[in-house]
Amino acid sequence: MSLNKNRVVVAMSGGVDSSTCAYLLKEQGYEVIGITMQIWQDPSEEYIYREGGCCSIGAVYDARKVAEKLKIPYYVLNFKELFNEKVVNYFVDEYLVGRTPNPCIACNKYIKFEALLKKAMEIDAYYLATGHYARIEYDGESGRYLLKKGRDKTKDQSYALYNLTQEQLKHLLLPLGKFTKSQIREIARKAGLPVAEKPDSQEICFVNTNYKDFLKEKAIERIKPGPILDTSGKVLGQHEGIAFYTIGQRRGLGISAGKPLYVVKIDPKKNAIIVGEEKDLFTKEFQAEKINWIAFDSLTQKIRAYAKIRYNFEEKPAEIHPLESGNVKVVFDEPQKSVTPGQSVVFYDGDLVLGGGIIAKKGE
């Protein structure tokens, strides 16, 4: 396939980051095409009209205004069936088995960097670009594309990009990675972009109220009440359904024990929530599955790295041990709080993303 190396599709969410991404690439001389992904499931769903949501009707309106300002072609593509399958269903299913999902990472993996990249290449674009704060560099010595943290450490989004493959990195542009957020807003202001002052979207894009109401709407018949147990197995109360709880949760347990109690484990086989004291939340090791390595092909011997177990978590030193299954065992130097199955763990060497995977189970 002969692709146009000057043509780039920009994933436009209607926000300041993706809009400035399109502006910067046009200024660099690229032939820029803006695309917004339609992922809402039904025109009656309230969240598509929500102000500021990255999946809303307003997002399409804002992205179109930016495209008109930049004088670039702009399209809305329908990804709703794939999004429902790969993101919404995954989101619901994970909570139902007592795990805490990360829908943004699933969306990046299956929608943006697989489906949208494929669409971009179908219109002969060599590149897909997004407004993520991260950097891609090519290392001539190893012949590999490397993923690194964004310069603005307060906005770095490399954690959400650990699933990228070498082939995807080859066709991906992340022009915001070398800027700070304040610099991007200033660039947008000077360029006269109509979204320069638009606030960032913080919510899960497809959840209009809260995730519990969303789960009830999608899967109430699959949610069953069950026991709340202490760490010795004593019944302390009843829960509404394991889907409504996550590791580290303290509020909303509906039990009184004379001391603070936290969700320390969720047992889907017993349909039970296990609660304990804060000290019971700490663990030193866990296994991770569905591993993707970026800096090298595979892990053949244990390495030292910094492990990040949540987006807003400071990475901590650990040993990463390869397992025969292809999974890894992560052993922290010091016990860490609220290691949560279903969340992603990403491994770093300084600014370099080594790879990552999904937290499968904690060490006992």
Look up residue 271 and give its amino acid. Answer: N
The candidate with the shortest Cα–Cα distance to 24, out of 226, 188, 140, 252, is 188
Task: To the nearest 10°, report the CA torsion of 98, 102, 106, 108.
Answer: 180
Q: Which string of DSSP letters, residue by residue, matches 287-323? A: EEEEEEESSSS---S-EEEEEE-STTS--EEEEEEE-
State yes or no: 58 annotated in a binding site. Answer: no
Which tokens in the block code for residue 7? Answer: 């043509």
- Cα distances from 293 to residues 259, 278, 311, 324, in angstroms, run 43, 33, 18, 16
Residue among 21, 55, 104, 205 flagged as catalytic: 205
What residue has token string 């300041």? 16
Rounded Cα–Cα distance for residues 219 and 229 (Å): 24
Q: Is 107 a catalytic residue?
A: yes
State yes or no: 297 annotated in a binding site. Answer: no
Buried b or exposed e, range 7-38, using 16+ CB within 10 angstroms: bbbbbbbbbbbbbbbbbbbbeeebebbbbbbe
State yes or no: 131 annotated in a binding site. Answer: yes
Q: Is 21 a catalytic residue?
A: no
State yes or no: 325 annotated in a binding site. Answer: no
DSSP state of 346: E
State yes or no: 14 annotated in a binding site. Answer: yes
Q: Is 122 exposed, middle or buried (0-12, 13-18, 19+ CB in 10 A)?
A: exposed
State yes or no: 326 annotated in a binding site. Answer: no
Order of strands across the sheet with 172-173? 74-78, 31-38, 4-11, 125-129, 172-173
State yes or no: 15 annotated in a binding site. Answer: yes
Which residues contribute to the annotated binding site for ATP? 11-18, 37, 131
Q: Residues with catalytic annotation?
A: 107, 205
Which residues contribute to the annotated binding site? 11-18, 37, 131
